[in-house]
Amino acid sequence: MEVVASIVGALIAEAARHLCSRVYSTTRGCLARIVAVSCAKRAVEHIPGPSIEDQTTASGTLEKIMDLLNDDGVRRIGIWGMGGVGKTTLVRNLNNKLRNDPNNTFGLVIWSTVSKEVDLKRIQTEIAKRLGMEVKKDESIQTLAIQLLQKLRKQDRFLLILDDVWKGIDLDALGVPQPEDTKGGKIILTCRPLNVCREMKTDQDVKVDVLTDDEAWKLFCQNAGMVAELEHIKPLAEAIVQECAGLPLAINIMATSMRGKQMVELWKDALNELQKSVPSNIEGVEDKVYRTLKWSYDSLQGMNIKYCFLYCSLFPEDFSIEISHLVQYWMAEGLIDEDQSYEVMYNRGFALVENLKDCCLLEHGSRKDTTVKMHDVVRDVAIWIASSLEDECKSLVQSGIGLSKISEYKFTRSLKRISFMNNQISWLPDCGINCPEASALLLQGNTPLEKVPEGFLRGFPALKVLNLSGTRIQRLPLSLVHLGELRALLLRNCSFLEELPPVGGLSRLQVLDCASTNIKELPEGMEQLSYLRELHLSRTKQLTTIQAGVLSGLSSLEVLDMRGGNYKWGMKGKAKHGQAEFEELANLGQLTGLYINVQSTKCPSLESIDWIKRLKSFKICVGLSICDVYEHGHFDERMMSFGHLDLSREFLGWWLTNASSLFLDSCRGLNLMLETLAISKVDCFASLKKLTIMHSATSFRPAGGCGSQYDLLPNLEELYLHDLTFLESISELVGHLGLRFSRLRVMEVTLCPSLKYLLAYGGFILSLDNLDEVSLSHCEDLSDLFLYSSGDTSISDPVVPNLRVIDLHGLPNLRTFCRQEESWPHLEHLQVSRCGLLKKLPLNRQSATTIKEIRGEQEWWNQLEWDDDSTRLSLQHFFQPPLDLKNFGPS
């Protein structure tokens, strides 16, 4: 089980990173995710970002680079210019242009952001991904370099784009062949000073210039809106644009913050502030950026949002920060009012982030909705502001710069926040540090760090946040207990951590994160943490005992996350020694998020768990199950999973009234259970959106006449069926539950050897209006997708009017998609492999306007039958070989 879970987990992560042509990376069932991995690599991947189409200068520069790319004599191109001038935007546009260019001759375009501190392994991993190679976690840089070198030598014309290079990179160490030694391989790099280009021995350098006055004005107006053109404002607006010195970043920031401001006083004030002097150590055009940014910072309303902003600069350059983690920090530092529920605070944090994004002070990170990052210039300015603030927020930021040790003298008394995250620090001083006011100490990601000395923590008596995540520490010193102000103790992924000292003294602790650690027991004094709101214990494999009463005494607890851990809650009266009872959790009156495993042979009964109705989000896995494959519960997910249980005498009805997702793995008695559901006089289960049934040898045929008269799952959106030995058709389930599938979007059926047809039309089901994706694989007996009850003229044509994606694999007996004359109007992606008898596609000549790809084996394509030859011709160029199915499906 473990192995399956970890493989699938890795695949999920992998799939999420691939923005593949199948666009399968959305949140879906685990089965779909396995399939998703088989994405072919694309020559060029789209990289989101603003377009420069209507900027003449930049477009000109872009053309120039395109010409250089076509020049066989030029192998290395340097693109240089000051921070904020738009180099990254330019190369992003270049990348995307190549993607849409039918004349593109590069077999593979690889993008990697290098940043100030070069992390060869990360760059190698990025390159390897694009080459479709697997990278083992502990692979050495040298071995990887050799593998990459071999692959890249063979790769036909690669283009490697290295964004944000600060110093020469040794291509040999990286494993990139000298482009001159390859068949047409090229490198483009962007950097600030020209000498980096020299170090990299570029053949041609292109300077990215600031915008012309006209362009600057146009860009400003685009972002500031009509107001800039108003007669009394225009001169001020123009003067402000002048102050921005043609730098797109500065212009964007100024324009967005002046957007819609009608009062002339505000414009005068902005101009005035911009013209004020800047730090003496910054000169030339760059000081313009500093001024605009400083102004933007000063314009933030209220101190809290300013501090929140400065907080983001504690993270390394080009780092995608999880918004939910920011919220933890901000909460711990009291920047968000802590007297509210976790959910309210989270939303507040989210709003703050949006606010900062609106001022261009933050941009979205690698995952658009859940992470943010700072433009490197913005970060420079934030660090400058934070380090020069005398009073409130003085920070020391040394993150992600490869430090191997820290020197005591940097820790001045007035420091408030200290970040040494993501370095290579292996040793901390035992004494000599005194930072009586420091509230945040971020040491996470220092993988070599093994020990936190007793005296070290004494230097920070006022800490509110301590992050030691991802270090190699085995224990924490006893001096921890003196951190009476501590709100957040973050030890996630300290995989060597085995125990914690007594924590009773941390009386104000709100967040304790021990996820992915090796702790065997909860620390002593745990029950005294009466302010604890979040307890993260996911993937704690060694934690197998928790005494009764310890967690249920944490009266402020709002989130308890034990996903993927080995601890199982017991059932009332059945709990063993060292096992707390599930029912105890009823005492946690504040609980809103609960993610746990329960050991039981029965489904917990309704009366004993009435309290669960209070939860906003949960994932409760009863019995044995691989439901943990479904990582990350969203705040609105309410998932119930039952594994290896006999459900024949169970009534799941109550669970279904509140769950949004039901997962049944290896359960017996499903048929009886469904019948019980159908005949019980309950209302329908309107919350349920996702149903997964796997590994069952139940027959689903209703035992006659007891199917529900109305749709019990009217809002079902996703249906996943996997390894159901005797299922002959989904219509069997339909019969039980009265399903109409009026909202169904995704349907996935794999490994159902008895399946004869997918679904019968007629009666209540006349079309599947919302069905968007269908995936079927390994169903040997399947001969038709749909059956049509003859004579029912109300069956609509087509029956799947909105189907967009269909993937059929390993269906050796499948003969037809649908009725002879039908064509599916919205089909975009179609893949058919190992379905030798399928001769006719539901496509006609018009389909050439919607279809994006058709994949399959060549022989299969050759033997397809068409209404006429022109249809085949019009679709021919959408045809491609099937995706690599090496990893395909559960076999």
**Contacting positions for ligand NAG (CB under 6 A):** 101-103, 322, 325, 328-329, 444-445, 447, 467, 469-470, 490, 492-493, 495, 613, 616, 657-658, 687
Beta carbon of residue 616, minimum distance to ligand NAG (angstroms, whole number): 6
Q: Would you say 467 or 871 has its CB closer to ligand NAG? A: 467
Cβ-count burial of 826 within 10 angstroms (0-12 exposed, 13-18 middle, 19+ buried)?
middle
Q: What is the DSSP string of 765-834?
A: BS--TT--EEEEE--TT--EEEEE-TT-TTS-SSSSTT--EEEEES-TT--BSS-TT---TT--EEEEES
Beta carbon of residue 33, minimum distance to ligand NAG (angstroms, whole number): 18
Beta carbon of residue 246, minimum distance to ligand NAG (angstroms, whole number): 29
Q: Would you say 657 or 813 has its CB closer to ligand NAG? A: 657
Task: Report CA-CA distances (Å) from 800 to 333, 602, 827.
Answer: 53, 39, 10
Beta carbon of residue 488, minimum distance to ligand NAG (angstroms, whole number): 6
Q: How far apart are CA 494 and CA 518, in angstroms?
A: 8
Nearest to 448 by CA among 426, 428, 432: 426
Q: Would you say 292 or 444 has its CB closer to ligand NAG? A: 444
Q: Would you say 23 or 609 has its CB closer to ligand NAG? A: 609
Beta carbon of residue 850, minimum distance to ligand NAG (angstroms, whole number): 23
Beta carbon of residue 398, minimum distance to ligand NAG (angstroms, whole number): 15
- Amino acid identity of 339? D
Q: How far apart are CA 301 and CA 362, in angstroms?
A: 16
Beta carbon of residue 872, minimum distance to ligand NAG (angstroms, whole number): 26
Q: Would you say 13 or 263 has its CB closer to ligand NAG? A: 13
Q: Would you say 165 or 491 has its CB closer to ligand NAG? A: 491
Beta carbon of residue 222, minimum distance to ligand NAG (angstroms, whole number): 26
Sequence-separated (6 or more) residues with CB below 8 Å from residue 109: 43, 44, 45, 95, 98, 99, 158, 159, 161
Q: Would you say 193 or 589 has its CB closer to ligand NAG? A: 589
Beta carbon of residue 492, minimum distance to ligand NAG (angstroms, whole number): 6
- Which residue of this chain has its Cβ atom nearest to ligand NAG in the complex? 325
C-beta separation of 71 from 234 below 8 A: no
Beta carbon of residue 643, minimum distance to ligand NAG (angstroms, whole number): 23
Q: Would you say 137 or 232 has its CB closer to ligand NAG? A: 137
Residues in a beta bridge with 784 = 757, 816
Instruction: Report strand pairing: 321-322 vs 371-373.
Output: antiparallel
Q: Would you say 496 or 710 has its CB closer to ligand NAG? A: 496
Q: Would you say 220 or 319 has its CB closer to ligand NAG? A: 319
Cβ-count burial of 683 within 10 angstroms (0-12 exposed, 13-18 middle, 19+ buried)?
exposed
Sequence-separated (6 or more) residues with CB below 8 Å from residue 544: 520, 566, 567, 578
Beta carbon of residue 641, minimum distance to ligand NAG (angstroms, whole number): 17
Q: Would you say 208 or 441 has its CB closer to ligand NAG? A: 441
Sequence-separated (6 or more) residues with CB below 8 Å from residue 501: 475, 476, 477, 478, 480, 481, 523, 524
Beta carbon of residue 509, minimum distance to ligand NAG (angstroms, whole number): 13
Secondary structure (3-state) at 757 = strand
Nearest to 292 by CA among 239, 345, 369, 364: 239
Residue burial 102-135, b: 16+ Cβ < 10 Å; e: rest: eebebebbbbbbbbebbebeebbbbbbbbbeeeb
C-beta separation of 508 from 486 below 8 A: yes
Q: How far apart are CA 691 and CA 673, in angstroms?
A: 15
Q: How far apart are CA 792 and CA 760, in angstroms?
A: 12
Q: Would you say 397 or 830 has its CB closer to ligand NAG? A: 397
C-beta separation of 651 from 622 below 8 A: no
Q: How far apart are CA 515 and CA 512, in angstroms?
A: 9
